[in-house]
Amino acid sequence: MSHFSDRIQFYPLKNLLEHISSPDELRRLDPDDLPRLAKETRGFIIDIVATKEGHLGASLGTVELTIALHYVFDTPDDKLIWDVGHQAYGHKILTGRKSIFDTNRQLGGISGFPRRTESEYDAFGTGHSSTSISAILGMAIASRLQENTERQHIAVIGDASIASGMAFEALNHLGSTDANVLVILNDNAIGIDPSVGALKKYLTNVKKGTAKEENIFECLNLAYTGPIDGHDISQLLPELERLKSVRGPRLLHVITTKGKGLEKAEIDQVTYHAPGRFDRFSGEREPSTDNELPLKYQDVFGHTLVELAENNPKITGITPAMPTGSSLKYMMAEFPKRAFDVGIAEQHAVTLAAGMATQGLMPFCVIYSTFLQRAYDQVIHDVALQNLPVIFCIDRAGIVGQDGATHNGIYDMAYLRCIPNLVLFAPMNETELRNGMFTAQLGLPHPIAIRYPRGRGVQQEWRTTFETIEIGSSRELRKGSKIAILSIGHIGNSIAEAIEAFEAGQIGHYDMRFVKPLDKKRLYTIFEHYDFVISIEDGCKAGGFGSAVLEIANEMGHANKLIIMGIDDLFLEHGTAGEVRHLAKIDAEALKNRIKILLDE
């Protein structure tokens, strides 16, 4: 189908976007109208994200590219994958989700990332980075085997995401095939934080025309074109048309600006990656009203690490591409030679830490729970098997809220507790986090993972004096007689509050601190003493903390006393963290209901 026939003249209409509900309608526009559509789409994104929040900068940067791709290619028959997917808001708006875009990331609303179940235009579900080239190559191979020679296959991937191991593995494979794949490298020279590494330097040289080497993509057998201006539709259209007319592995390098079209977002690209609420005209972020609230766990981690590093020269810090999110940025500022942002490279981050540990360093390797999933083998094979004392700080553990199913950190307790040698600790508050970090750097004979959630702690005074925590010890927070509640980590705070409603002396509460090793002695006493025991965790029930307690209860012949509260065997959707916890029945209300039922028995 030619996109240049059957055009509709929209000139009398003030708002083009109002009349575009699908790429079919988009393709009927005159090409000269597309810049106007881009402006309107950008405005639409800004209007919604200003109040509903979400990923702003990346999507503002891909508006023209999105329009050009859907204009030139025959989506959804042609397959289009957005790597990470946080830049796909324009894609969602133009592929039938404009009227519900204001539900983005809200409970019951559309996902903040592409999803196959949400639209036929979402060829592949994303959220974690650097998967797009593998997936699109898989689709291209399938088209070939199914004798579909017409279908086009396109992956859009950012400059930070293409530097990740998975993307390189896929390029390595792609270049050895004649698969019909077009990779679009959306190069804005930044990830969430500024891009790092040798590839970033190389891409900068390519842009300046000063790359001395052969083109790296050409060397990998991809037909390279670019760089071109990714905001100039008059450049994008003819180049995409040309690329559509040829076959084989191709890479188009486009240069874009993260945050394009909103001055503040262009200037402060790190903050405006996901800025929270802001004024849609000025871009000014809503002033924070929570100055009185406790600090975020991330900041407690970041400042504590600096404090410890000042006194312990063996400490190093490692983050795979999340220095701001994890607050490793504080150590990077204070000790630039000892703190490393390695880019989106979770596997490398873990094995890098292992290497450092072999030489007597004490690496704090801070990784979001959900992204550590990618480095599972490295945790087992490179760290635990060699019993290297790497200190994992597992950020965003538990329910993360609006990022939803792709980002929830609810599997780590299950996937880590089965690994020999590994200690697994979950602090209930800031003091516990600090003391856990302090204890770890005293020199443990094992690797340790310290898991803590996204967001704020509970203490105003967090800069407490350090104390050592005995590995495998728990804390009795409240004595009881009938029902014992065993909590792990931050969730214990809402539990402590919930049980205040019950008569003193009935309900006991224990902060178990360690998923591994469990405080067996304490558990033996508890199971002997109480009629019922409830374990509660912000992780999956299968194989998690409650399962570990059940193993001990079973040893004692008391398995029938235990009720496990945790996340059922399903993927949790997006919503505020509170809403999702409520739906998952791991909040204070669910616990109170359980207790009431047991007390009535």
Ligand X SMILES: CC(=O)[C@@H](O)[C@H](O)COP(=O)(O)O
Ligand Y SMILES: Cc1ncc(C[n+]2csc(CCOP(=O)(O)OP(=O)(O)O)c2C)c(N)n1
Smallest gap from Cβ 264 to Mg ion, in A, equals: 18
Given 128, 200, 396, 509, the residue binding ligand Y (CB under 6 A): 128
Smallest gap from Cβ 440 to ligand Y, in A, equals: 24
Give yes or no for a contact between 348 and 216, defined as CB atoms under 8 angstroms apart: no
| Cα 302–chain centre separation | 19
What is the b/e burial string over 380-410, where b = at least 16 CB atoms within 10 angstroms of the residue's CB? bebbbeeebbbbbbbbbbbbbbbbbbbbbbb
Q: Does 408 engage in binding with Mg ion (CB under 5 A)?
A: no
Give yes or no for a contact between 363 and 391, defined as CB atoms under 8 angstroms apart: yes
> Do the annotations mark residue 129 as ligand-binding?
yes
User: Does the active-site annotation cover 258?
Assistant: yes
Query: Would you give the DSSP letter of residue 278?
Result: B
Give yes or no for a contact between 41 and 71, defined as CB atoms under 8 angstroms apart: no
Given 33, 64, 159, 432, the residue binding ligand Y (CB under 6 A): 159
Residue 83 CB partners (closer than 8 Å, separation 6+): 126, 129, 130, 131, 132, 133, 155, 156, 157, 158, 161, 162, 167
For residues 376 to 415, the per-residue mask of contacts with ligand Y, x marking binding by CB under 6 A and - elsewhere, is: ----------------------------------------
Smallest gap from Cβ 148 to Mg ion, in A, equals: 32
DSSP 3-state of 178: coil
Options 346, 430, 432, 579, the catalytic residue: 346
Alpha helices, H only, 231-382: 233-245, 263-267, 297-311, 323-326, 329-334, 346-358, 369-372, 376-377
User: Under the phi-then-psi rule, with left for phi > 0, alpha for psi from -120 to 50, and beta for the rest, what region is 557?
Assistant: left
Q: Does 84 engage in binding with ligand X (CB under 6 A)?
A: yes
Q: Does 115 engage in binding with ligand X (CB under 6 A)?
A: no
- Asked if residue 12 has a cis previous peptide bond (ω within 30° of 0), the answer is no
Q: Does 403 engage in binding with ligand X (CB under 6 A)?
A: yes
For residues 13 to 52, the per-residue mask of contacts with ligand X, x marking binding by CB under 6 A and - elsewhere, is: ----------------------------------------
| Biggest CA-to-CA distance, the chain | 80
Q: Does 329 engage in binding with ligand Y (CB under 6 A)?
A: no
Smallest gap from Cβ 320 to ligand Y, in A, equals: 6
> Do the annotations mark residue 86 as ligand-binding?
yes
Smallest gap from Cβ 575 to ligand Y, in A, equals: 19
Given 105, 200, 231, 454, the residue binding ligand X (CB under 6 A): 454
> Do the annotations mark residue 99 as ligand-binding?
no
Contacts of ligand Y in 48-87 (CB under 6 A): 58, 84, 86-87
Residue 525 CB partners (closer than 8 Å, separation 6+): none
Q: Does 325 engage in binding with ligand X (CB under 6 A)?
A: yes
Q: Does 274 engage in binding with ligand X (CB under 6 A)?
A: yes
Q: Does 374 engage in binding with ligand Y (CB under 6 A)?
A: yes
Given 42, 86, 417, 516, the residue binding ligand X (CB under 6 A): 86
Q: Which residue is nearest to ligand Y (CB)?
A: 158
Tokens of 271: 């903050």
Tell me the angle at which helices 545-556 and 520-529 cross, rounded to the nearest 10 degrees: 60
Smallest gap from Cβ 128 to ligand Y, in A, equals: 4
Options 42, 329, 374, 594, the catalytic residue: 374
Give yes or no for a contact between 350 and 382, defined as CB atoms under 8 angstroms apart: yes
Give yes or no for a contact between 393 and 331, defined as CB atoms under 8 angstroms apart: no
Q: Does 396 engage in binding with ligand X (CB under 6 A)?
A: yes
> Do the annotations mark residue 47 as ligand-binding?
no
Give yes or no for a contact between 301 and 326, defined as CB atoms under 8 angstroms apart: yes
Q: Does 343 engage in binding with Mg ion (CB under 5 A)?
A: no
CA atoms within 13 Å, Cβ hemisphere of 322: 23
Rounded-to-integer distance, Cα 527 and Cα 190, Å: 53
Options 27, 105, 258, 516, the catalytic residue: 258
Smallest gap from Cβ 344 to ligand X, in A, equals: 10
Q: What are phi and psi of 296, to 5 degrees?
A: -75, 150
Given 111, 131, 188, 408, the residue binding Mg ion (CB under 5 A): 188
User: Does the active-site annotation cover 346?
Assistant: yes
Q: What are phi and psi of 509, to 5 degrees?
A: -135, 130
For ligand X, the closer of residues 63 and 384 by Cβ is 63
374 binds, among ligand X, ligand Y, Mg ion, none (CB under 5 to 8 A by kind): ligand Y
Q: Which of 403, 422, 406, 270 is nearest to 350 (CA)?
A: 422
Chain residues binding ligand Y by CB under 6 A are 58, 84, 86-87, 128-129, 158-161, 186, 188, 190-192, 258, 321, 344, 371, 374
Known binding-site residue numbers for thiamine diphosphate? 86, 127-129, 160-161, 188, 346
- Name the site residues for ligand X (rule: CB under 6 A): 55, 84, 86, 192, 274, 325, 396, 400, 403, 454
Residues in the annotated binding site for Mg(2+): 159, 188
Residues lying near Mg ion in the complex (CB under 5 A): 158-160, 188, 190
Catalytic residues, which ones?
A: 258, 346, 374
